């Protein structure tokens, strides 16, 4: 697929996906939603790719949904409107559900759906000074399809305040509430992202995919409801070739084969 709204750089096992619509601060319209969803899905199927880094070209990570595009939905039928909203929901789920770890590299601004994208990623690193916000209510709309990902990252208390006020906040606060993991000087942003990538590269690729599935299954569930699932997961994975290699490598005091 020829990409008009994204740039894709693959260096060895690391795929870097850049939102590339800087003139509107990487706001996403239908085409960007389609391209991003397909690109992330396809990267998830490639054995050669171990980590995905998501960033934005220009002065901001992502200004959320394209408001000109969203405004135009007033002329859509309800069916068309539902289809567009579903495509957006599918995008966030594709990020969240990717078998590869996804690291967000955030600078400038991550607002509305842009902040939702950050929440759907596994690990987010933000430059100090970047602004965040669930600004939807200030526009008369809702942080709807992003809400499951945001709630699971920041919890209901912070979400109540931020969803209801729509106020903007800074990277340090984003780190305090767990929307991002690290708030670092902009000059250090790439180095910290690379350090996350190199830590992720030490993990067994299958184990990482399974750990993501585990997190998805276990969050917000009662222990009794997930205990059987967790028992089956560990019983199944510890006998695999990858797990056996990982444990042998540790006991033989050598790095496992997948570690670079
Ligand atoms: N949808 C459509 N266009 C957008 C946009 C969005 N979400 N965000 C920014 N743009 C456009 C602006 O309209 C402007 O267009 P113009 O050059 O034709 O005037 C251009 O992008 C640059 O925006 P500007 O505000 O001048 O840039 P900035 O660098 O000063 O600020 C932001 C960047 C992201 C902080 C600011 O644009 C902003 O707050 N955007 C709104 C974000 C928002 O609330 N998103 C939630 C959507 S659900």
Whole-angstrom distance, CA of residue 3 vs CA of residue 189:
26
pLDDT tens-place string over residues 37-90: 999 999 999 999 999 999 999 999 999 999 999 888 889 999 999 999 999 999
- Tell me what pLDDT residue 53 has: 98
Q: To test the ligand 1 pocket, which listed residue (5, 20, 63, 91) has its Cβ within 8 A of the most ligand atoms?
A: 63
Whole-angstrom distance, CA of residue 1 vs CA of residue 35:
8
Is the pTM for the entire model greater than 0.85?
A: yes
- Tell me what pLDDT residue 73 has: 86
The verdict on whether 136 is a catalytic residue reads yes
Q: Name the band, by pLDDT with cuts 50, 70 and 90, for residue 158.
A: very high
Q: Name the band, by pLDDT with cuts 50, 70 and 90, for residue 1.
A: confident
Whole-angstrom distance, CA of residue 86 vs CA of residue 156:
24
Tokens of 218: 């276990």
- Given strand 182-184, what is the order of strands in its sheet? 6-11, 14-19, 51-56, 102-106, 123-127, 182-184
Q: Are strands 51-56 and 102-106 parallel, antiparallel or unpaired?
A: parallel
CB-based contacts of 164: which residues, under 8 Å, 6+ apart? Answer: 137
CA-proximal residue: ligand 1, atom 33 (nearest):
25
Q: Name the band, by pLDDT with cuts 50, 70 and 90, for residue 168.
A: very high
Q: Is 113 in the pocket of ligand 1 (CB under 6 A)?
A: yes
pLDDT at 22 over 70: yes
Whole-angstrom distance, CA of residue 61 vs CA of residue 136:
17
């Amino acid at each position: 697929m020829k990409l008009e709204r994204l740039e894709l750089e693959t260096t060895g096992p690391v795929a870097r996906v850049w939102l590339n619509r800087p003139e509107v601060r990487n706001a996403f319209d239908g085409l960007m939603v389609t391209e991003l969803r397909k690109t992330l899905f396809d990267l998830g199927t490639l054995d050669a790719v171990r980590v995905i880094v998501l960033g934005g070209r220009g002065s901001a990570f992502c200004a959320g949904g394209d408001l000109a595009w969203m405004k135009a939905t007033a002329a859509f039928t309800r069916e068309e409107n539902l289809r567009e909203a579903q495509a957006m929901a599918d995008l966030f789920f594709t990020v969240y559900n990717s078998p590869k770890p996804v690291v967000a590299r955030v600078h400038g601004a991550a607002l509305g759906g842009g902040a939702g994208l950050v929440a759907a990623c596994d690990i987010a690193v933000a430059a100090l000074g970047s602004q965040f916000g669930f600004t939807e209510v200030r526009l008369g709309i809702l942080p709807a399809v992003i809400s499951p990902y945001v709630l699971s990252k920041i919890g209901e208390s912070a979400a109540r305040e931020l969803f209801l006020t729509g106020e903007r906040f800074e990277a340090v606060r984003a780190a305090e509430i767990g929307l991002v993991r690290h708030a670092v000087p902009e000059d250090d942003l790439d180095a910290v992202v690379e350090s996350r990538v190199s830590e992720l590269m030490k993990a067994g690729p299958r184990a990482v995919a399974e750990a993501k599935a585990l997190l998805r299954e276990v969050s917000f569930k009662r222990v009794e409801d997930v205990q059987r699932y967790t028992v089956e997961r560990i019983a199944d994975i510890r006998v695999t070739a990858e797990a056996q290699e990982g444990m042998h490598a540790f006991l033989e005091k050598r790095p496992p084969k997948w570690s670079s």
